[in-house]
Amino acid sequence: MGLLERIAAPQDLRDLSDDQLDLLASEIRDLMIRTVATNTGHLGPNLGVVELTLAMHRVFDSPSDKIVFDTGHQSYVHKLVTGRAGDFDTLRREGGMSGYPSRSESDHDLVENSHASTALSYADGLAKAFTIRGEDRHVAAVIGDGALTGGMAWEALNNIAIQHDSRLVIVVNDNGRSYTPTIGGLATALTSLRTNPRYEVLLDMVKRRLNAVPGIGAVAYDALHAVKKGLKDAVAPQGLFEDLGLKYVGPVDGHDRHAVEQALASAKRFGGPVIVHAITRKGYGYDPAERHEADQFHSPGPFDVQTGAEKPKGRIWTDHFSDAMVRLGERRPDIVGITAAMMHPVGLDAFQARFPERTFDVGIAEQHAATSAAGLAMGGLHPVFAVYATFLNRAFDQVLMDCALHRAGVTFVLDRSGVTGDDGASHNGMWDMSLLQVVPGLRLAAPRDITRLNELLDEAVEVDDAPTVVRFPKGPPPEDIPTIDRLGNADVLVRNGTKDVLVLGVGSMAEVAVGVAERLTAQGIGVTVADPRWVKPVDPALVEAAADHRLVVTIEDNGVAGGVGSSFLQALTAADVRTPVRIHGIPQEFLDHAKRPKILEAIGLTPQAIALDTIDRLATLTPESLPRDVSI
C-alpha cells in the first residue's frame, strides 16, 4: 500500500512532497478500483474527489475543523486518509466499513444520512455553533452539482449568505452529473461558470506561465488568484452565488491539488462563507469509468478491473417495471413519467427513450416532483413518479397536502422498498407503509411477483381521484406465486383446511408466508395464507376472515411501527374482532449495512423463524383470547 500506510492521520499529508502526494493519489485510485471491483460501491464519485479530498485535509484541520460530505457516497478518500486504509477491504461488507461516513468508525466522520442536499444545512448549524461558542474552528462542506439541485441546499444558502462571520467554506464538487448529466437552470448556470472559453484559456495560460517560474511561480499564482477573481468578473458572468451575497472562488481545476489548496486557503482566509467551485470529472483516472456513458461508474456492481466489464446482472424488479411503463405509455397517452435524477436506477430510461416529451427528470428534488405531479394530474394527465422508497420520505407533506388533499391521481412507484442493505440505515425503504397509512384516500399496493406488479400498476393508473402507491424491493423478483382463490381483493395462496392461523404475506413477504405455511402444515396446523395486494385501505374480507381464525400473523418488509400489521390490528379492533395478531416486520431501528438476505435473516423475516414463533404463540393462546365462537 506504500505511502498510504504512512497516513495514520490527515495531518501526515502535510509532510508529503508534491511528488509523494501525486503518488499517493494514484495509490488511492488503485486501491479504490480494486476494492470496489469486488465489494461494489461508489467508484465514479470517489475517483473524482481524490485531489479535492487530499487538498481539503491539508488545508483544514479535521476533526477539529469539520468536513461534511453531502450524500456521503464520495467519502472513501476521506476514510483512507483518516486512518482507515487498513480496513478498506471490508467496504460495504457486513460488520465492515460503511460506504458512507460513520460516526462509529471515526471522529472525522459526522453526517451518516445518505439523503442528498443536506450538507449545507448541517454546515450552517455547525458554523453558527462554533461562532456562538467562540471556537476558532472551520466547517468545510462538499456538495455535488447534483445535490445542489435539491431545494434544501438553497434554503441553507439563503441562510448562510447572511452569516457574515461564519467560518464556512462550501466546496461545490461540480462534475456536471448526478447519475446522468445534471439538469436544470442551476446546472446551466454552473456550466456557464466552468466553461467560459475566454476565462479558461486565459487562466490556463497564466497558470502555465507562472508555474514555470521557479520559486515565485506558485506565490505569484496565488496572488493572481484574487486578480483572477476580478478577471473572472470581466470574462465570466457572476450571478448565481454572488448575487446571494456569497463570496465565490473559482472555478478551479479540482484535479489540480495545488490549485485547490490555493483556493481553499484563500477561502479560509476570507473569514466568512465562501463558495469554492471545483471542476472535477466522475471516474477520473480510470478509463472504463470515465468512458462509462450511462453514469461513469456511479455505483458499479462487481466488474473486471482490466476491462471495466461489469459482471452480468439478472433482471431485477426495476427492469420489469421499466417494461410495464412502456406498455402503459403506449396504451395511455396521458401517462407521464417523473424521476428525481435517477432515470436509469428507477427504470424510466426505456419510457424516456420511447416518450421523451412525456418524461421529466426534475433533479434531486423529490418534493418538487410530488407537487409538480399533482399539477400534472390537475392538468389532466396521469403522472407516475418513480422513486426509491426512502427518498419519498422527503416529500411526505407534498404527498399529503398537495396530492391527497386535492385527490390528485398521481401514482408513486417505490423501488428499493423494504430492506435494501448495502447502503446502510438511511437507504432502507422501511418507512413508506407506515408514513403513508395516515394519508386520507391514498391507496397502497405491494405486489408479490411480476404478474401482480403488472396487475397492480394497471389498477393504480386507473385511479384518477386519489394518489396510489405501488412498492417493490431491491433485487430479483421471485417466480410467480399462483393464486388459488380470492378473498375480497386479496389473493389466497394457501388454504389447508382448519382455520388456526391466517397469515397475511405483504408484497415480497408473500413468499415467506408460503414458507411459513409449509412448516405449519407439517405440524398439522390449519393455515390460510393471503396476499392483500392492496394493503391500504384494509380489505374488509380479510377482517372477516380473521374472525374465523385463532391467530393472525402479518409479515411485511416495512418497519413494524404503524405498518400494515398495525393498521390491520386497528381494523380488527374497530370491527370488534378479537383474534390476536402477531406482527412481523423490520424492527423500528436504524439497521447497519449488510446484504439484504443477511439482514432479513438477522431480523427474523424468514419462514423458519416466523413458523416457530407462530407455533409458540398458538400454544400460549388461552380461551379468553379466542374468538367467541371457537372452543378448544
- Whether residue 30 is annotated as binding a ligand: the answer is no
Q: Which residue's CB atom is positioned nearest to ligand TPP?
A: 144
CA angle centred on 209, ends 203 and 210, rounded to 5°:
90
Around Cβ 33, how many Cβ atoms within 10 Å?
A: 21
Cis peptide before 63 (omega within 30 of 0): yes
Q: Is 345 in the site for ligand DXP (CB under 6 A)?
A: yes
- Out of 66, 79, 177, 277, the only residue in the binding site for ligand TPP (CB under 6 A) is 177
Beta strands in 268-381 (DSSP E): 274-279, 335-339, 359-361
- Out of 228, 232, 255, 394, the only residue in the binding site for ligand TPP (CB under 6 A) is 394
Distance between CA atoms of 358 and 389, rounded to whole angstroms? 22
- Out of 423, 432, 491, 539, the only residue in the binding site for ligand DXP (CB under 6 A) is 423
Q: In the structure grid, which three cell numbers stand for residue 49, read together? A: 474527489
394 given a catalytic annotation: yes
- Whether residue 116 is annotated as binding a ligand: the answer is yes
624 given a catalytic annotation: no
Q: In the structure grid, which three cell numbers stand for residue 445, read together? A: 399496493
Q: Is 363 in the site for Mg ion (CB under 5 A)?
A: no
Q: What is the CA radius of gyration of the chain?
A: 27
Beta strands in 182-318 (DSSP E): 247-253, 274-279
Per residue, the 3-state secondary structure of 431-476, as one string, reads CHHHHHHHCCCCEEECCCCHHHHHHHHHHHHCCCCCCEEEECCCCC
Of 534, 478, 523, residue with least CA distance to 501: 523
Of 413, 410, 404, 489, residue with least CA distance to 441: 404
Q: Strands of 581-586's sheet, edge to edge?
A: 485-487, 490-495, 527-531, 501-505, 551-559, 581-586
Could you tell me the smallest distance in angstroms from the CB atom of residue 470 to ligand TPP? 19
Q: Residue 144 or residue 429: which is nearer to Mg ion going by CB?
A: 144
Q: Residue 88 or residue 391: which is nearer to ligand TPP going by CB?
A: 391
**Under a CB-based contact definition with an 8 Å cutoff, are residues 445 and 468 in contact?**
yes
Q: Is 295 in the site for Mg ion (CB under 5 A)?
A: no
- Out of 124, 145, 423, 491, the only residue in the binding site for Mg ion (CB under 5 A) is 145
Could you tell me the smallest distance in angstroms from the CB atom of residue 443 to ligand DXP? 26
Distance between CA atoms of 152 and 476, rounded to whole angstroms? 34
Q: Which of 58, 66, 84, 282 is catalytic?
A: 282
- Whether residue 145 is annotated as binding a ligand: the answer is yes
Contacting range for ligand DXP; rule: CB under 6 A; set: 10-18, 399-407, 416-424, 619-627 = 416-424
Q: What are the phi and psi torsion angles at 472 (to 5°)?
A: -145, 165
Contacting range for ligand TPP; rule: CB under 6 A; set: 172-180, 244-252, 569-577, 607-615 = 172-180
90-149 binders of ligand TPP (CB under 6 A): 114-116, 144-147
Q: Is 596 in the site for ligand DXP (CB under 6 A)?
A: no
Q: Is 178 in the site for ligand TPP (CB under 6 A)?
A: yes
257 given a catalytic annotation: no
- Whether residue 146 is annotated as binding a ligand: the answer is yes
Distance between CA atoms of 437 and 567, rounded to whole angstroms? 8
287-306 binders of ligand DXP (CB under 6 A): 299
Distance between CA atoms of 469 and 414, rounded to whole angstroms? 7
Q: Residue 173 or residue 266: which is nearer to ligand TPP going by CB?
A: 173
Site string for Mg ion, 157-196 (x = CB under 5 A): ------------------x-x-------------------
- Whether residue 428 is annotated as binding a ligand: the answer is no
- Whether residue 393 is annotated as binding a ligand: the answer is no
Q: What are the phi and psi torsion angles at 360 (to 5°)?
A: -125, 125
**Under a CB-based contact definition with an 8 Å cutoff, are residues 444 and 403 in contact?**
no
Q: Which of 257, 394, 443, 452 is catalytic?
A: 394
Residues that bind Mg ion (CB under 5 A): 144-146, 175, 177
Residues that bind ligand TPP (CB under 6 A): 45, 71, 73-74, 114-116, 144-147, 173, 175, 177-179, 282, 340-342, 364, 366, 391, 394
Query: Which residues are annotated as catalytic?
Result: 282, 366, 394
Residues that bind ligand DXP (CB under 6 A): 71, 73, 114, 299, 345, 416, 420, 423, 474
Residues forming the annotated binding site for Mg(2+)?
Answer: 145, 175
